[in-house]
Structures are given as structure tokens and as C-alpha cells.
Chains A and B, each alone.
Chain A
Amino acid sequence: MAAIELKHVFKKYDDKVTAVNDFNLTIEDKEFVVFVGPSGCGKSTTLRMIAGLEEISSGELWMDGQIMNQVKPNKRNVAMVFQNYALYPHMTVFENIAYSMKLKHITKKEMQKKVSEVAKILDIETILDRKPKELSGGQKQRVAIGRAMVRNPRVFLMDEPLSNLDAKLRNKMRAEIHHLYQMLKTTFIYVTHDQTEAMTLGTKIVVMKDGIVQQVASAKELYRNPANVFVAQFIGSPQMNLLHGKIFYRDKKYFLMVHDYRIDLPKEMGEKLEQKDYIGKKVFVGVRPEDVEVLDMSRGGDGLKMNIEAQELLGVQTNLFLKRKDTHMAVVVKGRSDRAIGSECAICLDTDKIHLFDIDTEKNILKQKHDPK
């Protein structure tokens, strides 16, 4: 039985704005689900509907085989960690963590035991007597997580828990959350706009845009087999390049033209395109910066000729920014590059590594149906 199921869930405000549009998702027990997308895509709203902080306009929310739409937040057995920590400022760390137990009239001894257990895991034993204003950002976040942990919830809900921390601390806390997930072995639902967090933490990632689910898949699958242009460009950094191309069939050969560069397509791929009626049609050609081969002009070669516009030396890799008329591309090459800015180069694309998208619907033409697990 699925732990959580959302069936045709909508969130509408004043019957005008649709924040979440027909959200369907099945979350299995012990999954780490990440909702990711740009701000305003409805990811937090969906999380808040699961928490019970926001009413569901239509559709159904099921948890462990029970419909939850009308159940109060505290009866859903969920715990939430907020972006802004939401610690009670007038209570000490201990009181903050123990507050939910106090409301349940749990004995002092039991409270003390549970709080110290959690504090030990989170390494906050020494700050239990302090008030939130005396804590650093990272400590506050730990306390917030501790407050969620003492409740032994069925599901952890986390709403951008790391976005207020600086980059270094964020990486550290990200690793800790991952560790926590492995240790607690319970279901997590995590909201973020940061694709790195989504890719590293999630066992199942839900990419959202404008209240609509774009793709539900594992990190690997999202990266290798994006459902549409939005997902393709949202996941990965630098983002996927998008070129204009056209598909041809001549002399019993299928090929793709990008400017004057001809890429021969394998027969199987060509036939699929023919079946879908794309011969002679324009398409978007997506290619990840690291999947582009850069050739030196001196060696000749028949790639797509481009000029180097800028480059970023990052140590292990170099980002090259190429240009040809109004076509721009980012390319990642290993190590350092000694190419001069303004010089010409040629790029080569591997048919295994390109993604073709419909010009109008922006959907991945060749995407195979995969199990979202």
C-alpha cells in the first residue's frame, strides 16, 4: 500500500488563480520525494496541502489508505520543518523541541529522555538551555529538525529547509539530512528550488512548473531522459543547450541538420522519427554541455563551426561559451583549455547523447516510457 497518494489535487485561490493543477502522485513508504521547480510553481502549496495547512480545493489526499482532506494537521502524523525555522522565540531549545509532547501531556521523564535522544543525534546537547536568538542559523535549523524528529512522524515535510543558510553550511546540512533519512528510514517530502539538493537527496523527484507536474522520475532518469524542454534545462548546470535543427531523409539515410552541420542518425532512431512524422520538420536539439566534443580547427574535421566567446576556468573543468550568429552554446571540457577567446573551433555531437524536442509542444520526441521509480 502506498504511504501517500494525491489524486487529481487542485489548489485554487478565489476560483481564479490555480496554484496547483491536477497533481497526481503516489509516494511509497520510505521514499525521499523532492518537489523541485522555480518559485511560484506550486511546490510549497502542495506540501502545505499534505501538511493540512492549506485546504485542498478539489481532489483527494490519501495516507495509509485513509482519506485525509478534512483531517487536522496535528492528526495527520506529519512533522514539518519550515524554511524560516519557526522556533518559538520565548522558549528554550528544550521547550521548543518538547512542546508537541507537552501538548500531549507526556511525562517529564519521557520528554527529557526523548529530547536528549534527539539532541544527541543532532549534536545540540549543549545548547538545550538557550533561546533561539542565541543560536546560529545552522543550530536553529537543527533545532527545527529536532522538533520534527521527537514526534516520530509518519512523514517528514521539509519546506526549503536549507535556503536560509550560507553555501558551505548548506552543503553540510544537506549531507546531514541525507544521513538522517538513511538512519530514520521514514518517508520524506522535501521542497526546494535548488536542483543540486533535489538531485542529491531525492529518490523520486517531482519537477513542477506553473502548478503542473512536468516529470516524476529519479535523478538519473531526469538527467538522461527529460520529458520536455523545461525539465531538460532546469536540471543540470550549466543548463542543456538548445539548438534549432531539421530532420531529413535522403538516399535511404536519416540525418539531422544543425546549420550546415550534418549528423547522421541511426536507422532505428530515424524510423521512429518517421513513424512520428518528423521527416522534413524542424525540431529542438538538446545537448548537455558535457556531451559536446570540441575539435580544434587545425585538425580539420567536419563539426559545427563556432567562435569562442568566453571561458571560465574552474580547475577540474573549463566552461566554454560558444557563439555562431544567434546560436549560443555552453560546453564543458575537462581540465584547462588553452583556446584563445575569439578563435574558431568545431563541435561534434553524438547521436546517443542528443535529445530531440518538438518545436511546438516542447516534449521529448523519443522519450521512452519509464517507470518513475
Chain B
Amino acid sequence: MEKIERWKQRGTLAIRLLLLAIAGIFTIFPFVWMIVSALKTKAEIMDTSVFFAKVPQWANFKSIFSDSPLLHYVWNSLFVSTLTLALQLLFGTLIAYAVVFMEFRGRKLLFAIIMGTYMLPTAATYIPSYIILADMNLLNTFTGLIISNCVSIFGIFLLRQAFMQVPMGLIEAARIDGASHWKILWRVVAPMTKSSFITFGLMNFITCYNSYMWPSLITDDPDKSLVSQGLRRFFIEGGSYGTEWPLVMAGSTIIVLPLLILFAFTQKWFINGIGGDTGMKG
């Protein structure tokens, strides 16, 4: 009996590992392909019979750094994403705190309205948002890009769910200890919901960093392009000898790098929920 049980366990483990391996291969393949292609010549890329480059073309990377404004675009993206995220975190935290911990008339309605706007397709907001930005003279500016994205409904929802898991008793204990709302938020609630903040930050940073549609609608100054726009403008549209795929691939590899580094540092806390002891019993 014991033997059968042990084989069963091993079997389940093997199936689980196999499934994870397959999913892993599917996920990583485009990355590998991108990196491999970045080292090929243009002719090699089109030839499906070879996977690895005969001679790795490191010059592709070199030419990205020296001949293209890609680094400038990476800087633009990092700058816009960081500021956008900072504002999203600030506003999201404040509204989520109010909705969860403060009592006021219309609290539920307020949250319903916030969530209601989530149902609206983003594309439907393009034209009104464009007009508003145009009226404010913010087209073609980083300010316009940042303030048009400074509230994240997804983030508010994520933080609200996390805040709701913080026991009310802790908030009350802090109030009796003499903590203001501001202190309660940053000294009690935020440390307990750290992982949700990191999940929020990482996901929204990536979305913002990679965003293409909206930035290309409101900015046409090449100097203000974000990475996705820049990649397209410089290598795909503009190439007079047709698309330079090796350079596109090398560029993409460089673009992805900051995100991978960020993920490596934060994955420990990513989607972790409130784990362990909450300080309350019962």
C-alpha cells in the first residue's frame, strides 16, 4: 500500500513538473528567440532552417547604443513610468484607505462609481481625454502623459482588497495610541500590505513602460517618444532598406532589460497577499 501511495505521489509530482516545464518553455521561447535573433544577420533571421547565428553579431547591440536614440526612449519611458506610478500609488492608497477605513455618507456609492469606470473600454475614453488635454495645452508633453494616467482603478481595487484584510482592531488600537490617519496608513496599514503595493507597482510600471497606443495618440514629437513608439518609429517605419529585424530584436532586448531587473528584485513579494500573522487572533 505504502509503495503505491509513494508512486502516486511521484506521479503527481512528475505531471506537475511536466506541465510547468511546458508552460515555462512557451513563456520563455519568445525571449530566447528575441535574444538569439538579435545576434543574427538580416539574412539569417529570415532563414528558418538555422536557429543560432553562425557568427554572433555583437555589432547589432553596439549600433543600438551608438547609432540610435533608443537609450533616450528608455530614459523617457523610465521617467514617465516612475512619475506615473508614484502618483498612481499615492492616489490609489489615499482613496482605498478612505473607502475601507473612514466612515462617510456615500462611501459604498463612491466605490461603485470608481469600479464602474473600470467597465468603460479604454478606447472609448481616447477622444474625450484627447480633447481635455488639448484644451489644457498638454498635448505633446510628459505632463499630459503622466496626468492622464495618474489614477489606476485596478490599483485602487487591489489595495482596497488588501486593506480590507487588515483587522479593524489594529486601526482602533492605533487611533487610541494617538496615530493620525496619515500615520495609520503609512505605519500600520502599508507595512502590512507591502506585497500588494509591490504587485500594484510592478504591474502598473510594466503597463506604463510598454504603453503604445495612448502615447502615440497624444505625442508626435520624436524627442518625447516612449520605447514602444520609438522602436517603431526608428526601426520599422523609418528604415530605408526595409525593416532591420536584427536591430529591432537587439533594441527589444535592451528595452526589456530594466523590467527584468525590476522583476528580479521584487518577485519575492509579488502577488503574495497578507501572509502569516496579522497581530489579531480569532
Contact = CB atoms under 8 A, between A and B. Distances in A.
Interface of A: 51-53, 72-74, 78-80, 82-90, 99-100, 103-104, 131-133, 137, 140, 147, 151, 164
What are the nearest 4 A-B pairs in CB distance? Answer: A133-B277, A74-B178, A89-B279, A86-B169
A100 B179 CA distance: 8
A133 B279 CA distance: 7
Interface in B44-99: none
Given A74-B177, A74-B178, A151-B177, 15 more contacts: A73-B176, A74-B176, A78-B176, A82-B173, A84-B281, A85-B280, A86-B167, A86-B279, A99-B174, A100-B178, A103-B183, A131-B277, A132-B279, A133-B277, A137-B281
Contacts of B282: 83-84, 164
B178 A140 contact: no
A52 B178 CA distance: 12
A103 B177 CA distance: 8
A86 B173 contact: yes
Of A86, A87, A133, chain B has the most CB atoms within 10 Å of the CB of A86
A102 B169 CA distance: 20
B279 A104 contact: no
Given A84-B282, A87-B279, A133-B277, A79 B178 contact: no
Contacts of A131: 277
B172 interface: yes
A10 B174 CA distance: 26
Interface string B171-207: 0111111110001000010011000000000000000
A82 B179 contact: no
A90 B192 CA distance: 7
Interface string B243-282: 0000000000000000000000000000000001111111
A82 B169 contact: yes
A89 B167 CA distance: 11
A39 to B, nearest CB: 13
Interface of B: 167, 169-170, 172-179, 183, 188, 191-192, 276-282
Contacts of B277: 89, 131-133
9 contacts: A53-B176, A73-B176, A82-B169, A83-B169, A84-B282, A88-B173, A104-B178, A133-B276, A164-B282
B279 A85 contact: yes
A90 to B, nearest CB: 4
Contacts of A88: 170, 173-174, 188, 279
Contacts of B279: 85-89, 132-133
B163 to A, nearest CB: 15
A132 B280 CA distance: 9
A89 B192 contact: yes
Residue from B169, B188, B276, B279 having most chain A Cβ neighbours under 10 A: B279
A262 B176 CA distance: 59
Contacts of B281: 84-85, 137, 140, 164
Contacts of A51: 172, 176
B183 A84 contact: no
Contacts of A52: 175-176
Nearest to A159: B169
B74 to A, nearest CB: 35
B242 to A, nearest CB: 57
Pick the most buried of A51, A80, A88, A104: most chain B CB atoms within 10 A of its CB: A88
A151 B276 CA distance: 29
B177 A99 contact: yes
A221 B17 CA distance: 71
A80 B280 CA distance: 15
Nearest to A87: B279
A333 B276 CA distance: 50
A326 B174 CA distance: 54
A293 B173 CA distance: 51
Given A74-B176, A99-B177, A100-B178, A86 B170 contact: yes
Nearest to A153: B176
A73 B179 CA distance: 10
B189 to A, nearest CB: 10
Max count, chain A CB within 10 A of own CB: residue among B178, B188, B276, B282: B178
A284 B172 CA distance: 45
Contacts of A147: 173, 177
Nearest to A141: B281
A118 to B, nearest CB: 14
B12 to A, nearest CB: 32
